[in-house]
Amino acid sequence: MNKSIYRQADYQSKSDQDKFQEKNLPILRFSKNIAPSVDKGKNNRPGAKQYTSMQALAEFERWSRTYDRSLLQYLLFEPTHQVLLRYLGPGDRKILDIGCGTGKFLVTIAERFPATQLVGLDLCPGMLQRASERCQPYGSRICLVRGDSTYLPFQDNQFDVVTCSHSFHHYPDQQRAIAEMYRILRPNGRLLLVDGDRDGWWGWFIYDICVPWIEGGVHHCSARQFRQLCQAAGFQQIQQTRFGYLAPFLVTVAVAAKSSVAGQLPVARAA
């Protein structure tokens, strides 16, 4: 992968990284801007409980040991990946998967589209450890970065597609995360954003009652909130489709409409 996609100043030094390498964690890059330094953000729903990246980190570090054996793989995550594949094509050469977890979707894309270069970003070293084992056979085609969705350590206009599957409800500052996705997409690049569909009564019960009871103050957006977040960041041609019954999920597809002329920025770009 061309090194120029990375914003070098955002990364830890080689010696800091080596401390992780000694722990047998062969992740290629470590962003400096991760929890708890980003815990200032708050959810964008009035009255929503405060939720921090530290909470997400603690949850997924615990869960990483058994994550790949979870029932949710069969009920929700794998069906989502199969749906997302339909939105991708061989022309999508550079793809970033945010909240990539144990790398299952990265490998699924790599198998289906052999010319694609992939980057997976996740907050949690435990998840990335498993991702690195899974992605090893693909060599430099799949790069892994430890980072936070609200401070993406990439240059502007780099990716053809950004995917984000069942991770968004963990982001403390959801508007900023969307603005970052917009920033790093090339003009007319696409965002494929998936999260639990909380709009029906069953989805509301699962994602607004049960999941926060287990995970704390996470926030699943309604379809309308996703549209508003995307529009505020500068996305256009927003399309939304509902899938699943037992575990319903919503796919939001949006195009990063921006001028390719340098210096022209969207309305609500992250500060």
Ligand X SMILES: C[S@@+](CC[C@H](N)C(=O)[O-])C[C@H]1O[C@@H](n2cnc3c(N)ncnc32)[C@H](O)[C@@H]1O
Which spans of this chain sit near ligand X (rule: CB under 6 A)? 53, 56, 60, 77, 99-101, 104-105, 122-124, 127, 148-149, 165-167, 170-171
Cβ distance to ligand X smaller for residue 51 or 235: 51
Cβ distance to ligand X smaller for residue 69 or 262: 69
We find the least distance from the C-beta atom of residue 99 to ligand X, in angstroms, to be 3
Alpha-carbon distance 171 to 149, whole Å?
A: 7
Cβ distance to ligand X smaller for residue 99 or 153: 99
We find the least distance from the C-beta atom of residue 81 to ligand X, in angstroms, to be 6
We find the least distance from the C-beta atom of residue 125 to ligand X, in angstroms, to be 9
We find the least distance from the C-beta atom of residue 246 to ligand X, in angstroms, to be 17
Q: Is 96 exposed, middle or buried (0-12, 13-18, 19+ CB in 10 A)?
A: buried
Cβ distance to ligand X smaller for residue 107 or 238: 107
Cβ distance to ligand X smaller for residue 100 or 143: 100
Strands 249-255 and 185-196 come out as: antiparallel
Alpha-carbon distance 140 to 3, whole Å?
A: 11
We find the least distance from the C-beta atom of residue 157 to ligand X, in angstroms, to be 21
We find the least distance from the C-beta atom of residue 247 to ligand X, in angstroms, to be 12
Could you tell me which residues come within 8 angstroms of residue 91 by beta carbon, excluding any fewer than 6 positions away? Answer: 160
Cβ distance to ligand X smaller for residue 94 or 258: 94
CA 198 from centroid of its chain's CA atoms: 19
Cβ distance to ligand X smaller for residue 105 or 235: 105
How long, in residues, is the chain?
A: 271
Q: Report the residue number whose CB is nearest to ligand X.
A: 101
We find the least distance from the C-beta atom of residue 265 to ligand X, in angstroms, to be 23
Alpha-carbon distance 13 to 32, whole Å?
A: 9
Strands 142-146 and 29-30 come out as: parallel
Cβ distance to ligand X smaller for residue 221 or 258: 221
Q: Judge whether 118 and 110 are in contact, CB under 8 Å.
A: yes
We find the least distance from the C-beta atom of residue 260 to ligand X, in angstroms, to be 28
Find the helix or strand (DSSP H, E) in which 107 lies. Answer: helix 104-112
Q: Judge whether 95 and 160 are in contact, CB under 8 Å.
A: yes
Find the helix or strand (DSSP H, E) in which 160 lies. Answer: strand 159-165
Could you tell me which residues come within 8 angstroms of residue 248 by beta carbon, excluding any fewer than 6 positions away? Answer: 196, 197, 200, 202, 203, 206, 242
